[in-house]
Structure 1
């Protein structure tokens, strides 16, 4: 089965770990609009795409106990490199060598020995933009997350092409997974790239949105349940998913797995997601539907 995962942050990395044993062809398309922390500092100085979530996804597919995982997760302490991870700096060096973020990520992933495909949403840098009806604009993920009122529109600071291979992966996929994660800063950015949005609309794959268990600690935290999907589809301008998996559905599924019931967490974990996906893939997944169906 060919599966494509879209998103960013910790959510996408967890999904990759959970779904990896269940499919033979896995592709991740990673949001590259993060402007916070050391990733934001690299973006500002190098005018490049965000590297942190890409590094996190690639390293999530390696053995966490391995030396190479520890090396590339290492963060420098003090001086000009303070706070930067070696993985991010390696990706930056590879980008300068190849002049292509997509190629750089492929090289980095190969260095780690991963067979899965990790792609940036685009090879070109762009920022997330929130706007209001009064004309006010707020640029940058961190700045948008800190808002106290939901924006009227969400977009990109400039239109960018999809990374090479992203559209083809979506069109050939059997299943597309989006989320969990911040709906504005993790899930939406790839869906705002025109070529990706067109492919999401045209693919025959079943498109599934995974809702968050914990309430978001951002401006999107006021959205709940089906309101989240309605709001996202209004801002995106198209129906982006066929099914959504609610927190209640996840809890119902994992309740049948005794070892997962010891110490319930308020956040997704890899064991829970893996069990949910294993049960989900046993079901006959239809293609397009006329409206979004929520599993709860």
Structure 2
């Protein structure tokens, strides 16, 4: 988020506030028709195909002149007629982005809003009026093509502000964002439309922030809506990733975490101290923390040798507090204060339980560590899981039930399907509370399979299993449709994990809305604390923008 107080926001228009591609398809056809009438040597289909190729490969270059040159029709009358038609379309209908009015309405009154859109004044005014957004802006500038830099310099001079008090939002890293960077303003790229394929070539084309929808500005500007009540159900690294982004939108976040872990540090602590597994709670506490980085790092620190080798300091700290305060619940509350938590972390149950699995061949696995079986390289050859259950049957944490019932948004987080997500749904009362809630119910599907639980599963298989235990309908399923780096895929293949196939039609046929976009974290080296391997995960900001937009 921005570190200084923003006072003015300058917006671009095309592909920032409305879908210019919607208009472009009609304009391209009309432009080609006009150029052919003036003598361009091609038919309509050939002209449209070539023009679209130019738009895709070189959107920032002189498209009209290159098109005419390709068909050996470089007469200035043809080029000028093409440019005039392309730059001055008719506006019978335009497609405004779904969040444009919401975001501009929220920002108006809190910031000075300025609109800058390059092109014919008559054309741009018609476009603004057709979109119905004129009243949001205190000032509107419509420079001719090639005059945008002069307008930005004029605005900067008139405002009398420090450059870093001005935020420029647009889609062109080689246009308005480059100009703003050169003037020292803060810049925010909205990565949609035809120019999202452009990569920065120079330092002055690097934006300070990148968002995928206008709602991403809430995170950039730290505009939280604490009336928005969000519940995340899960507990693993997938939950932590979403929390990183969601806490930019609201502090009213509750994480309902699993407590059945019996492996590694959590498992040893459960056995030695007879308390609930602290690992998932610890990860979510850190993700919601507002304390200094060193303190967060301390809670995630794992001892590397000696009698404490493999133990997390945070797990041991929670165990000690549970002993001092008399309960696991009190321990979590005290850690929340120490870490200055923005939100709450609630165990789904306070009962000391195990998750068990019955396999298709009848084999019974009596604890989480046996289900995961992480030391077995052939676990993917094991009989598939038929069903999972708790032993003994667990009763829900009443605070968790209340949070779920009052939530505006309930997110089943990415993570281990059975041992992280379904384990929470097995707790008596939780599925029923989700069903009673009026909140939107969303499942964020994993990117990769897990060899011990979901080997061979498609996205629809994950959804079907969730529905079996959820006992109510999902509103949305979120899928990543961006292929990860091949090197990372190969590292997963070595462990017999695979990229989950998005069989979208099957999910939609069951009445669930699917949101499939590029949600992949661009950071190539994400390490999980124990195994020290690269980890594919969802991008916290991308996923949270969409989640916040659902409500």
Is this a same-fold pair by TM over 0.5? yes
| TM-fit CA distance, 1:221 | 2.3
2:514 is the alignment partner of 1:281 = no
Q: Which of 215, 240, 243 is matched with 1:13 structurally?
A: 240
2:494 is the alignment partner of 1:267 = no
SS of residue matched to 1:110: helix
2:260 is the alignment partner of 1:27 = no
SS of residue matched to 1:281: helix
Separation (CA, whole Å) in 2 of partners of 1:206 and 1:119: 20
Q: Is the 8 A contact 1:63 1:69 kept in 2?
A: no
Q: Is the 8 A contact 1:179 1:209 kept in 2?
A: yes
| TM-fit CA distance, 1:98 | 2.5
Deviations 1:75-127 (A, max 9, x none): 23444322212211110111112232222111101111113101111112111
SS of residue matched to 2:238: helix
SS of residue matched to 2:316: helix
Q: Is the 8 A contact 1:177 1:207 kept in 2?
A: yes
Q: How many residues align?
A: 277
SS of residue matched to 2:256: strand
Separation (CA, whole Å) in 1 of partners of 2:523 and 2:363: 48
Q: 1:171 aligns to what?
A: 405
Separation (CA, whole Å) in 2 of partners of 1:41 and 1:261: 35
2:482 is the alignment partner of 1:217 = no
Deviations 1:177-201 (A, max 9, x none): 1121110111111111012122112
SS of residue matched to 2:323: helix
Q: Is the 8 A contact 1:5 1:177 kept in 2?
A: yes
Segment drifting more, 151-160 vs 63-72: 63-72
- Where relative contact order (Cα < 8 A, 6+ residues apart) is larger, the structure is 1
Separation (CA, whole Å) in 2 of partners of 1:96 and 1:241: 40
| TM-fit CA distance, 1:45 | 1.6
Q: Which has the larger radius of gyration?
A: 2
Q: Which of 277, 289, 312 is matched with 1:85 structurally?
A: 312
Q: Which of 477, 494, 504 is matched with 1:244 structurally?
A: 477
Q: Is the 8 A contact 1:174 1:204 kept in 2?
A: yes
| TM-fit CA distance, 1:44 | 1.5
Q: 1:204 to 1:105 in 2, by over 3 A?
A: same
2:199 is the alignment partner of 1:199 = no
Q: 1:67 to 1:132 in 2, by over 3 A?
A: closer
Q: 1:61 aligns to what?
A: 288
Separation (CA, whole Å) in 2 of partners of 1:105 and 1:67: 19
Q: Is the 8 A contact 2:242 2:543 kept in 1?
A: no
Segment drifting more, 122-131 vs 141-150: 141-150
Trace 1:27-176 onto structure 2 (pairs within 5 A): 27-62=254-289, 66-132=293-359, 136-146=363-373, 148-176=382-410
Q: 2:19 aligns to what?
A: none
Separation (CA, whole Å) in 2 of partners of 1:41 and 1:219: 23
TM-score normalised per structure 1: 0.84
Separation (CA, whole Å) in 1 of partners of 2:284 and 2:547: 23
Separation (CA, whole Å) in 2 of partners of 1:53 and 1:262: 23
Q: Is the 8 A contact 2:358 2:385 kept in 1?
A: yes
Structure 1 gaps, min length 5? 286-296
Deviations 1:214-261 (A, max 9, x none): 222323122111122113323x26236321111227763559xxxx76
Separation (CA, whole Å) in 2 of partners of 1:54 and 1:21: 20
Deviations 1:29-74 (A, max 9, x none): 1111111111111112222211111111111233696221222222
Segment drifting more, 7-16 vs 61-70: 61-70
